Structure 1
């Protein structure tokens, strides 16, 4: 029964307004509390921004840096709001923490170059012991979060782009590692010029590559390369699926040409096609 309820919940969320995904998810968790943990870990929602109490820097919150109602800051490695059992809460090992700090600095530069603003956060965690190659190197996993918002007071237009890149690094032999990536982009655009309109949705794709590495920093560089390539493809797909299709629909619904002009164009096209078929 629980599996059926979980599948039904996911099916329902796919059919409800994507702009209200966070509210709908919260209502489902209240309706079926026993499914709350599975739903929160399975459904991607727009990222929330929180401030680090120690450094004052902003960071992004998701299920991967959450412990109860608190979220770990990548800048200070501490949970906020503060929890009593901080030592018992999930933290990366010393090796991964060093790599996590380097990754946050690196993706902060990536965010500034590609997004010209916004927020970014990177979190690492250890995987199972079976991800160990013959040289004793242990695999790990993590998530790269990127968020860019447009002020809704900017000429009546607002919007938000959220990127969630969950990856796993599996070291192999001869300095080669497999990088598995699952990327989700959540897009939300709105305008209030003349009438209220909005465009919301999400897109998820998976990617896998085998790349050479020499050190921890090269792992971060490889992860960045795979994410850069995936984000470029996702942007192009969103351009085709959302914007080009919306433009086509609006063009069919509303045209600045008169009906006579459109009818003449249609007749000329039919005549041309007939003549080409006769050749």
Structure 2
């Protein structure tokens, strides 16, 4: 079996298993693959391709929590957006530093975390956790990422009622130059939803959509602060629109469809008196004919 067949089969298997246990299913599958072929590239590719619920880690330097994912991971350590340190301490050799954003991009990352924390406060009712991570895509000796493009991820996580409701959203984006002072923003947004009151109903699943937009910067590229603001506003609007769209799609896919099944397919409600009497007459005639 080729690598592509193994990869597609693994993704197909994960899609068929209970999405509520996606993390456990993914770890189990990776363990099976590693036991068969320890050098396989399939495991890291699966880990980077399959979205799992975000986990919380505490930054001990300021006692603030941040979200961990594959995009701020180095080995078994995760970089904090608040202090730019890895927790637990990175396990790589001293001669090999873990990845960090360039200085200019780090300054944008700091402002992005502050901005999206305000967004979280407004849209998540002053609850939950947000984290933003940026990385350079410019391969020059001295990266000029604000002008030449960069990539990043915006993360949100919220839980309510002791875990009865969980929302994890992962927004991976790439910014590229598309002409003179023109930038292309490509966004892939995934939302993992888990509702479970342990009594009546359990709903779990995820939804992924892609969005893109091109915008022209009318300020001066010589003024870094203006370009930073331009990128922050553009990314904020794109994430806001994507979350609004996905939220409505989730309501349509999960709840409107569930309502249709319960009220129309399984048990119809809302019939008027005339309809009820006609049904009762038909039922009586049917019973009399037995």
**TM-score in terms of structure 1 length:** 0.85
Find the residue that maps to 1:177 and give its secondary structure.
strand
Deviations 1:73-113 (A, max 9, x none): 00000100012547610110001000000000000000000
Residues 245/261 of structure 1: CA separation in 2 closer, same or farther (3 Å cut) = farther
Q: Partner residue of 1:162?
A: 168
1:210 aligns with 2:214: yes
Match of 1:104 among 90, 110, 113: 113
1:226 aligns with 2:238: yes
1:183 Cα deviation (Å)? 0.4
Find the residue that maps to 1:77 and give its secondary structure.
coil
1:217 Cα deviation (Å)? 1.8
Deviations 1:94-135 (A, max 9, x none): 0100000000000000000000110000000011449xxxxx
Residues 84/184 of structure 1: CA separation in 2 closer, same or farther (3 Å cut) = closer
Uncovered stretches (5+) of structure 1, i.e. residues with no partner? 131-135, 268-279
The 2-side partners of 1:261 and 1:51 are apart by 63
Q: Partner residue of 1:199?
A: 203
Uncovered stretches (5+) of structure 2, i.e. residues with no partner? 35-39, 141-145, 220-226, 281-290
Find the residue that maps to 1:32 and give its secondary structure.
helix
User: For the Cα contact (< 8 Å) 1:102–1:217, is it kept in 2?
Assistant: no
RMSD: 2.6
Equivalenced residue count is: 258
Residues 258/217 of structure 1: CA separation in 2 closer, same or farther (3 Å cut) = closer
1:227 Cα deviation (Å)? 0.7
Q: Partner residue of 1:39?
A: 46
1:175 Cα deviation (Å)? 2.1
Residues 256/143 of structure 1: CA separation in 2 closer, same or farther (3 Å cut) = same
User: For the Cα contact (< 8 Å) 2:130–2:155, is it kept in 1?
Assistant: yes
Match of 2:74 among 67, 70, 78: 67
The 2-side partners of 1:120 and 1:265 are apart by 57
The 2-side partners of 1:266 and 1:69 are apart by 65
Q: Which range moves more in the overlay, 210-219 or 106-115?
A: 210-219
The 1-side partners of 2:231 and 2:68 are apart by 23
Q: Partner residue of 1:240?
A: 252
1:23 aligns with 2:24: yes
Q: Partner residue of 2:57?
A: 50
